[in-house]
Structure 1
Amino acid sequence: MFTSHDGLCSIGELAERAGVTVKAVRFYSDRGLLPEASRSAGGHRRYGPEALGRLRLVRSLRALGLPVREVHRIVDEEEEDGADSVLEDAVAGQLRELGSQLQALRWREAALRLVQECPPEDRADRLRLIGAVTAPPSTAPLARFWRAWLPPRMPARATAAFLEAAVPEPPADPRPAQVLAFARLNALVTRPCTGAERPQPAAHRGAGARESAVLYAGLAQAYELAGTQLRRGRAPRAGEELDSFVDAYARTNGSRDTADFRRVLVGQLSVDPRIDTYWELVAEVITPSGGPPEPTPGSAHDWLFAALEAQTTGAA
């Protein structure tokens, strides 16, 4: 309770009691966060006893970085005993924003180390690469690249499943090498190219919605099985992984998995376009520091093709 005869206090007394500046009290008052009880005859602001608790709450919320509009919602709901849910939502939103800011700072730190540690003759190229990428970087250019490369009539669900496997998420705490790999990925998929530079695999030609969905669902299963073998360091070999791989192509073409089909498939896959650089960069982006390379759809495809080629060559 304030000691004045009317139970009110001046802006200076309120600021002193709350441990803030008069300027801060005026700022909160002007934005409706701290209503005045009245004005003195001389036009000076006067505040009631409830203002001190409200001001302390406002100060605490602002210290957490909550924007004025969110603070306004919380203190208004506080008076109606419904502030908990509003506060929880505001804090959750602030945590998400802070997480994004921290990721951006970590990305910038790794990018700066990348420039600092590289030879002077490479710095101009490194600066050009990382300057074309936001912090934290967007995966939208990579997704656009694959949407243009996949069969045009591929169902949305199948496309989304493939993009999840093919488009790497930027590491939350990247190494300089991962920043460089992601920047090179961005440069790879955004550089101008002609149709001849990005031809479609033979399996894409004439593939309808059903065929493309069957193909990529089957390939996803085969790549997952092959990825297990890659993590174990196993050499390419015939087995469940290869059978699943061949079956995806056979069902797409309305054929059966026979020795003749496998020989034809080897010939088709051997002339299909290759995007090895993309998958090598993806492996660098997703592999933990000091660990063995993580399998990618590209490395799994190469393992399966090698197994198929060895089998058909041996059979011949």
Structure 2
Amino acid sequence: MSTSDEQFWSIGELAERAGVTVKTVRFYSDRGLLPESARSGGGHRRYGPQALDRLRLIRSLRTLDLPLPEIRRVVEDEDDAAGRVLENAVASRLRELGGELRAMRWREAALRLVGECPPGERAGRLRLLGAVGTPPTTAPMARFWRAWLPARTPARVTTTFLEAAVPQPPDEPTPAQVLAFARLYAMTTAPCPGRRQPQPEVHRVAGAHGAALLYPGLIEAFELTAPPLRRARDPRPGEALDAYVAAYAGAYGRRDTRDFRRLLATRLAAEPRLDLYWELTSLVRTPAAGPPEPTPGAADDWLRAALDRDNATAA
């Protein structure tokens, strides 16, 4: 036994004081994390109070699930540097845990989705969920829209449109949201006829330059439409519709006239629809409480209805 004057402890005494096993002390000592104060005549390790403080700190850091390399940096750096290292390590671990928690919540909702559905639907839902993977990715949806948008669309406009059109998986999804996201994933990864994603007729009519001008104007019109959509206002002419028509007029090199508004309504009625995509997107984005967030599809529907009402009133 060591004396109180010497303040040297054997590996067993240090383990007892710290409330850990001898194996634990040896593990950290072998990795150079515990300082030895001396060696006995027989070559056995002797530890002082500094080792006890260090061991308690290591145990606290391990309780936070910090990896050994980060713990080494914390205990070996000077006080100021150690504080910064610890802050960075904790922030990094928090980000990792956030991702792990989101993945676990997704799995929980997916399991509930399969467990609560009728037996005859389970095989189909399992196929949908198996294709998505965990954590889910939005990459196929982004590729879908990049193929849909004109090739010359400015990068800034593309980024803004993708933020509005591609729904992110909710942090705490319901089974219905998991199913909607899985269906979106399947929809955007399904093979398309021909070599490219089918393009809207407006792209062909407006040409590459005109189509690239179209989307900045549409984004502005959709933003103006969001407030009346959130308030469940009926479609009607106004600033949002004017911006919508101006976007198409600029793409076509035309002026906003009554004849053009009638022509535009006719062309829009013949455009391909993505109703299912926007319906599923709305489900994914719908919060647990409150109305769903407007999607570009909902905004486009509102503006088309406002255009039809405007033309009918003028007639």
TM superposition shift of 1:313: 4.1
CA 16–222 in structure 1, closer or farther in 2 if over 3 Å, else same: same
Distance in 2 (alpha carbons) for counterparts of 1:113 and 1:21: 42
1:51-106 per-residue CA deviation (whole Å, 9 max, x = no partner) reads 111111111001011111111111111x4542111111111111111111111111
Aligned length: 312
Instruction: Find out whether 1:106 has 2:105 as its counterpart.
Output: yes
The equivalent residue for 1:131 is 130
1:191-223 per-residue CA deviation (whole Å, 9 max, x = no partner) reads 112148942123323223xx4553222111211
1:138-169 per-residue CA deviation (whole Å, 9 max, x = no partner) reads 11111111111111111111111111111111
Distance in 1 (alpha carbons) for counterparts of 2:272 and 2:3: 84
The equivalent residue for 1:48 is 48
SS at match of 2:208: coil
Q: Is the 8 A contact 2:18 2:52 kept in 1?
A: yes
TM norm structure 1: 0.92
Distance in 2 (alpha carbons) for counterparts of 1:11 and 1:212: 75
The one-letter code sitting in structure 2 at the alignment partner of 1:282 is T
Runs of 4+ in 1 over 6 A off after TM superposition: none
TM superposition shift of 1:42: 3.8
The one-letter code sitting in structure 2 at the alignment partner of 1:207 is A
Q: Is the 8 A contact 2:35 2:50 kept in 1?
A: no
Gaps of 5+ in 1: none
CA 54–196 in structure 1, closer or farther in 2 if over 3 Å, else same: closer
The one-letter code sitting in structure 2 at the alignment partner of 1:13 is E
TM norm structure 2: 0.92
SS at match of 1:59: helix
Distance in 2 (alpha carbons) for counterparts of 1:227 and 1:272: 22
1:210-259 per-residue CA deviation (whole Å, 9 max, x = no partner) reads x4553222111211222221222222221111111001111222221111
Q: Is the 8 A contact 2:28 2:34 kept in 1?
A: yes
Distance in 1 (alpha carbons) for counterparts of 2:5 and 2:303: 88
SS at match of 1:8: coil
The equivalent residue for 1:26 is 26
SS at match of 1:289: coil
Q: Is the 8 A contact 2:152 2:212 kept in 1?
A: no
The equivalent residue for 1:204 is 203
Q: Which moved more, 1:294-303 or 1:130-139?
A: 130-139
The equivalent residue for 1:275 is 274
Instruction: Find out whether 1:190 has 2:206 as its counterpart.
Output: no
Gaps of 5+ in 2: none
Q: Which moved more, 1:260-269 or 1:277-286?
A: 260-269
CA 197–274 in structure 1, closer or farther in 2 if over 3 Å, else same: farther
Distance in 1 (alpha carbons) for counterparts of 2:195 and 2:146: 17
1:154-195 per-residue CA deviation (whole Å, 9 max, x = no partner) reads 111111111111111111111110111111111111111214
TM superposition shift of 1:44: 2.9
Distance in 2 (alpha carbons) for counterparts of 1:273 and 1:197: 15
Distance in 1 (alpha carbons) for counterparts of 2:60 and 2:195: 61
The one-letter code sitting in structure 2 at the alignment partner of 1:58 is I
The one-letter code sitting in structure 2 at the alignment partner of 1:227 is A
The equivalent residue for 2:179 is 180
Distance in 2 (alpha carbons) for counterparts of 1:27 and 1:215: 65
The one-letter code sitting in structure 1 at the alignment partner of 2:63 is A
Superposed, 1:80-95 pairs within 5 Å as 80-95=79-94
Distance in 2 (alpha carbons) for counterparts of 1:184 and 1:27: 50
CA 287–80 in structure 1, closer or farther in 2 if over 3 Å, else same: closer
Distance in 2 (alpha carbons) for counterparts of 1:124 and 1:197: 31
TM superposition shift of 1:315: 3.4
Give % identity.
65
Distance in 2 (alpha carbons) for counterparts of 1:229 and 1:287: 17
The equivalent residue for 1:233 is 232
Distance in 2 (alpha carbons) for counterparts of 1:204 and 1:143: 19
Distance in 1 (alpha carbons) for counterparts of 2:39 and 2:274: 74
The equivalent residue for 1:303 is 302
The equivalent residue for 1:36 is 36
